[in-house]
Chain A
Amino acid sequence: MSFKDHPSYDFLDSKDAISKVVSFDALVTDASDKGIISDLPSSDKETYDFKKQRLRIQTFASRLYLLGYLKEKIVFKGKESISDEIIETVKNAVHKFQIEAGLKQDNWVGEKTWNALDEIVSFESEMNEDFWFDGEEIRENRKYALHRAIQLRLWALGMHDHKPKLNFELLKESDLESFVSVQLVLHFRINAHELNKRTVSYIFDQDFLTHKIASRRGEENEQSFQFKDYDEVHKNRARKFIINTLKVELWLLGFEVDIDGAYDFEYKRGSKLFKALKSFYIKFQDKKKNRARKLAKRIIPNVFTEIDAINQNQVGFDEDDFCDDVVEEMNSSEKINTMWDSIKEKGTRLWDGVKRFWRAIKKIGKKIVRFFIDNIYKGFLRFATRTYHYLKNGFRAIVNSISNYVKGEIKFENCTYFFRKDMDAQIVISNNIENEQVNYIVGAFQYQSKAFNVGCKLVSFLIDVIKKLATGFLGWAKFLFSMVRSYKDVKQIVKDFHFLAVNPI
């Protein structure tokens, strides 16, 4: 499938309103069928439709591999389809994750399974504490999944020797030994040594960890980390933690580094880390090349100070503002086509690092945008997907409402609501009706009409946006750009009817 293929936009010329709406629906469905945009799958079957769900399959397969549910990483690059054998392997991995996370075992990577995976693997997502914890303790039925995630995070930050494996055993407190050392050497002052909510929240708080490193300059020399009061074991653990935290931060910002948990505090010139650091000094601190090369030779506290300043930026992540930046940047079909080719292979990285990058733009300025265009791509895809999700819900609301009318009646307990051909209504209420039932019926009426109104508003709004989006956009680029450009307004429409956003029909 060529991304430059022209879908049919001829519905915009039609004067017949019904044809417009129906053709627009067909276009939206086509976008999903061709994998232009991947909303959360609506069934377990759709979950594994590679054509439609390629980006999501890549992502959750990568996450399952990192958590140890897959023995080997599955390579998707260059593939236009995957074998039944691979699908079966991935499905089994999903199934096992669902068991260990206490989720319904239906192999369907819908909202719950997707969110659960996202929360425990992504560096920027917040964990739903009620889901994972019962008070201070990790929920028994979710222990295995969360322990895998803890081990993965510890490994990524250089505080555990291995990623979780296929045959996983629950962690012991001894697995936190390195983390306890790091707390001591870097003066965390939190005394987190048990496998409970408190400890987990610190381990998963990337901003906190980076901040603590930034706060711990060498006592004698601000340009190096000096831990003279500690033995070699403790020092090495701290250094390993520092170097790997740096790799995570650079990776999140969009630099080409590998998160590998390795102890390469004395890295080589010419290594990925060296090049990333050099680039960091040039782009984020305006250093000249020679100076940047000298600074990049070793890890100094300064780089953490800079990253910490970006992360601690008092201006909270403003999604609408970021959306504007994305729209401004992705202002042509060519750019969107390039994005599409680039984004196809990204997998997990597609869904992480957006907040950090946005904070960096706010602190340093838009000059860094073009150097990290991948992050703009991530934002673009994020906003397009969300608008699409709301739009699909809008269509569903319209169809459900019309279905009720066409049926001719809605039955409640002790009440029946008849619809006549001209949409007039006759309601029949029994004397036995109770207050609770009345409240339910009133709520149902309100829901039905609100859902229908939101649906109509969304659909007509988006058709209007595409209609007005005249020159400069061709093919699927036009569709995607209209989704992104509409995001803020669509969000407002749905917010006005908040229930539709949290209770998809």
Chain B
Amino acid sequence: MGLRKAIQELDRAVDDLSSLHVQTFIGDISISTENSSVVTENNEGVEEIAVSTSTATYTDIESLKEITTVKADVSIVAETLIKFDGDSYNFVNKDYDKIPTAAIDIHREALKNGLDTRLGLINLFKEIIT
């Protein structure tokens, strides 16, 4: 994709840069497709088809958010909302000590990534316009 197309796509894709909202979920989860069965071989080399019943599956983020309300083993780890007027909001799961630090690390990096990217865009266009 060339720069012109990329920026046009971005222009179409981006609604609003005035706030940043990051949510991080964790659980026994997997992405599902149309046929969610898993094909494996047993010891005799015979194909078996197994359907997991213990793993929550989701096809997109909306379905995942629905799952989190019904499945106790999929939960939201942290949620951060930063408004560019200075207000911010931070949520961390009450069972913080049970949440793997990996999840918090990833949430933090995702937040930083979002802020840096917004700053990059703002700097780019601000420098050019002035």
Contacts and interface: CB of A to CB of B under 8 A. Distances in A.
Interface of A: 15, 17-18, 20-22, 25-26, 395, 398-399, 401-403, 405-406, 415-418, 420-433, 435, 438, 441-442, 445-446, 448-450, 452-453, 455-457, 459-461, 463-464
Contacts of A424: 19-22, 114
A430 B106 contact: no
Given A435-B102, A452-B120, A417 B110 contact: yes
B46 interface: no
A425 B102 contact: no
A423 B25 contact: no
A162 B116 CA distance: 59
A457 B16 contact: no
Which residue among B3, B10, B114 has the maximum number of chain A CB atoms within 10 Å of its CB? B3
Interface residues of B, number: 56
- Top 4 nearest A-B pairs (CB, nearest first) are A460-B127, A449-B116, A17-B125, A456-B124
Interface string B71-86: 0010001000000000
Which residue among A417, A420, A426 has the maximum number of chain B CB atoms within 10 Å of its CB? A426
A406 B120 contact: no
Which residue among B103, B110, B117 has the maximum number of chain A CB atoms within 10 Å of its CB? B117
Contact of B4 (A15, A25, A406, A448): A25
A17 B113 CA distance: 23
Interface string B12-30: 0111110111111111111
B106 A415 contact: yes
Contact of A438 (B25, B106, B124, B129): B106
A429 B6 CA distance: 28
26 contacts: A17-B128, A399-B2, A402-B1, A402-B7, A418-B61, A421-B14, A421-B15, A422-B15, A423-B114, A424-B22, A427-B25, A427-B106, A428-B58, A430-B29, A431-B29, A433-B100, A438-B102, A438-B106, A441-B109, A442-B106, A445-B109, A453-B123, A456-B121, A456-B124, A457-B120, A463-B128
Interface string B46-67: 0000000000001011001000
Contacts of B24: 426-429
Given A417-B110, A456-B120, A460-B128, A398 B29 contact: no
A405 B117 CA distance: 10
B102 A423 contact: no
Nearest to A463: B128
Nearest to B65: A426
A236 to B, nearest CB: 63
B2 A25 contact: yes
A433 B124 CA distance: 36
Contacts of A25: 2-4
Contacts of A450: 116
Contacts of A460: 123-124, 127-128
Report whether over half of chain A's contact residues are helix, strand or loop; otherwise say mixed: helix
Which residue among A398, A402, A459 has the maximum number of chain B CB atoms within 10 Å of its CB? A402
A405 B17 CA distance: 13
Contact of A425 (B1, B114, B129): B114
Nearest to B3: A25
Given A25-B2, A430-B29, A456-B123, A445 B113 contact: yes
B7 A425 contact: no
Interface of B: 1-4, 6-7, 9-11, 13-17, 19-31, 58, 60-61, 64, 73, 77, 100, 102-103, 105-107, 109-110, 112-114, 116-121, 123-125, 127-129
A426 B25 CA distance: 8
Contact of B107 (A18, A402, A427, A433): A427
Contacts of B113: 425, 445-446, 448-449
A411 to B, nearest CB: 8
Contact of A398 (B6, B21, B30, B102): B6
Nearest to B16: A422
A398 B1 CA distance: 11
A402 B6 contact: yes
B87 to A, nearest CB: 15
Contacts of A464: 127-128
A430 B27 contact: yes
Contact of B25 (A398, A429, A461): A429
B29 A428 contact: yes
A402 B13 CA distance: 10
Nearest to B30: A430
Contacts of B106: 415, 427, 429, 438, 441-442, 445
A420 B62 CA distance: 11
Contacts of A445: 106, 109-110, 112-113
A78 B120 CA distance: 46
A441 B110 CA distance: 10
A452 B6 CA distance: 13
A481 B16 CA distance: 38
A449 B117 contact: yes
A482 to B, nearest CB: 15
B6 A399 contact: yes
Contact of A15 (B16, B114, B129): B129
B5 to A, nearest CB: 8
B30 to A, nearest CB: 7
Given A406-B13, A456-B121, A429 B110 contact: no
Contacts of A457: 120, 123-124
Contacts of A17: 124-125, 128-129
A401 B117 contact: yes
A153 B26 CA distance: 63
Nearest to A423: B14
